[in-house]
C-alpha cells in the first residue's frame, strides 16, 4: 500500500470514529430527554391546581394520622408510621429520618411544605401512588357516608 492510500484510510477511519461518537452523544442526549419527559407530566394550569388541592388534602389527612393529638405536631417520637399504607411509608421515609436525626417537630403548614418538596422530587410513578392513595381514601369516606345515611330512617313523600 502506498502512503497516500494509508493516509486516506486513516482519515476515513478518523471521520467514521468522530461520526460514531456524535451518534453516541446524540443517543445519550435523547435518552436523558426521554427520562425527563417520563418523569414530568405536561399538564395545564387547571390540572396543576387540582393536583395541588389533592396534595394538600392528602397531606392534611396524613398529618391528622401522624400528629401527636396533644401537641398537634409531627415529630419522630410521637407518631406511629404503621397507620399509613406501606407505599406511602416508603415515600415519607426521608422526612421521617430527617425528623429523627434533627429531633425536629413540624406543624401542619411545615408538614405540607415538606411533603410538597418530597412530591416534587418523586418520579411520576410514585406521584401516581400518592394520588391513587388519596382517591382511595376519598372513595372509602364517600362509601362510609352512604352507609351512615342508611342508619337514619327517612320517607319519600
Q: Which residue has the higher pLDDT, 68 or 141?
A: 68
For 59, the grid coordinates are: 397531606
For 93, the grid coordinates are: 421515609
Cα atoms in the Cβ-side hemisphere of radius 13 Å centred on 17: 6
Average predicted confidence (pLDDT) for the chain:
78
Q: pLDDT digits over 81-103, tens only?
A: 677 778 888 888 888 888 888 88
CB 66 within 8 A of CB 81: yes
Paired strand residues for 105? 75
pTM over 0.85, yes/no? no
Q: pLDDT digits over 99-139, tens only?
A: 888 888 889 999 999 999 888 888 888 888 888 888 888 77
Amino acid at each position: 500500500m502506498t502512503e497516500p492510500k494509508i493516509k486516506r484510510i486513516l482519515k476515513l477511519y478518523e471521520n467514521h470514529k468522530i461520526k460514531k461518537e456524535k451518534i453516541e452523544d446524540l443517543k445519550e442526549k435523547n435518552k436523558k430527554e426521554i427520562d425527563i419527559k417520563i418523569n414530568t407530566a405536561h399538564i395545564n394550569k387547571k390540572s396543576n391546581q387540582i393536583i395541588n388541592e389533592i396534595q394538600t388534602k392528602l397531606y392534611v389527612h396524613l398529618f391528622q394520622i401522624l400528629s401527636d393529638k396533644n401537641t398537634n405536631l409531627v415529630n419522630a417520637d410521637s407518631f406511629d408510621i404503621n397507620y399509613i399504607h406501606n407505599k406511602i411509608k416508603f415515600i415519607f421515609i426521608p422526612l421521617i429520618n430527617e425528623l429523627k436525626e434533627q429531633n425536629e417537630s413540624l406543624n401542619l403548614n411545615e408538614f405540607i411544605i415538606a411533603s410538597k418538596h418530597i412530591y416534587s422530587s418523586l418520579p411520576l410513578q410514585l406521584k401516581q401512588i400518592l394520588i391513587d392513595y388519596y382517591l382511595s381514601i376519598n372513595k372509602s369516606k364517600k362509601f362510609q357516608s352512604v352507609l351512615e345515611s342508611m342508619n337514619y330512617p327517612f320517607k319519600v313523600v
